[in-house]
């Protein structure tokens, strides 16, 4: 069983365990905002629906509501729980919905064999479409190139900033570069933007804290 599933999600106190676990499995990193109020994380490691609805809910995380769907025909689920398509290039979407405006969104994905079409990755919402740059976080060669069962695990990360756009729902779409992509896992971290009233209360609380420190002096 994957060490991430054994550990579960026990909050910011286990950040050091997350670093160790992800470095040895998915190559994913911890966004700086994870664990802050209003943030959520969603992890997909084992898929059950190869094509179309109802899609795949996360296996773990603080938010199990996002849906990851692969749309190209001919896909199947491998023995390790990956989505694999030997005949067509995979077509994927991740749909996310929140009750609060959102700030930063970080998506990390890991594939085996054929790689993603990295230029296809985009975030869409009611107001438009946002592109962003890719960061490669891990690349591991398995076996010898050209021999059966060999391939390359690649982990990549994308980040979008929705602050100030009043976005609470979005869809992320991406495609495989060609057939024979094995989609291994994905991790979605989302940061909610505090409402003005919440920010005002935080400012008042900080002011009282400063006043109390001054009085002690």
**Kind and range of the H or E element at 84?**
strand 83-85
Neighbours of 153 (CB within 10 A): 19
Burial bucket for residue 77 (CB in 10 Å: 0-12, 13-18, 19+): middle
pLDDT tens-digit profile of 48-90?
A: 999 999 999 999 999 999 999 999 999 999 999 999 999 999 9
pLDDT for residue 190 is more than 70: yes
Q: What's the total number of domains in the chain? A: 1
Question: pLDDT class for 197, splitting at 50, 70, 90?
Answer: very low
Q: Determine the structural domain holding residue 71 and report its residue range.
A: 3-216
Predicted model pTM: 0.80
Report CA-CA distances (Å) from 41 to 22, 106, 122, 195, 209: 14, 9, 19, 20, 31
Question: What does the pLDDT read at residue 149?
Answer: 78
Under DSSP, the state recorded for 115 is P
- Distance between CA atoms of 166 and 40, rounded to whole angstroms? 18
Identify whether the C-beta of residue 89 lies closer than 8 Å to the C-beta of residue 176: yes
User: What is the number of helices (H) and of strands (E) in the chain?
Assistant: 3, 13
β-strand partners of 107: 158, 188
- Check whether 203 has a pLDDT greater than 70: no
Q: How many CB atoms lie within 10 A of CB 9?
A: 13
């Amino acid at each position: 069983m994957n060490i991430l599933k054994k550990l579960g999600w026990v909050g910011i106190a286990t950040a050091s365990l997350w670093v160790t676990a992800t470095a040895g499995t998915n190559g994913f990193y911890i966004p700086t905002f994870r664990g802050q109020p209003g943030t959520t994380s969603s992890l997909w490691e084992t898929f059950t629906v190869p094509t179309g609805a109802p899609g795949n809910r996360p296996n773990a995380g603080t938010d199990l509501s996002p849906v990851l769907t692969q749309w190209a025909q001919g896909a199947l689920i491998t023995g390790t729980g990956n989505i694999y398509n030997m005949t067509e290039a995979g077509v994927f979407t991740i749909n996310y919905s929140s009750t609060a405006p959102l700030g930063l969104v970080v998506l990390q994905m890991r594939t085996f064999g054929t790689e993603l079409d990295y230029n296809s990755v985009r975030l869409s919402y009611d107001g438009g479409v946002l592109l962003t740059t890719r960061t490669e976080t891990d690349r591991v060669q398995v076996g010898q190139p050209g021999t059966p069962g060999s391939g390359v695990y690649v982990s990549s990360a994308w980040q979008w900033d929705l602050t100030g756009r009043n976005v609470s729902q979005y869809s992320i779409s991406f495609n495989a570069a060609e057939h024979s992509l094995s989609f291994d896992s994905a991790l979605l971290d989302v940061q909610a933007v505090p409402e003005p009233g919440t920010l005002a209360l935080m400012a008042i609380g900080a002011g009282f804290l400063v006043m109390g420190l001054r009085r002690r002096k």
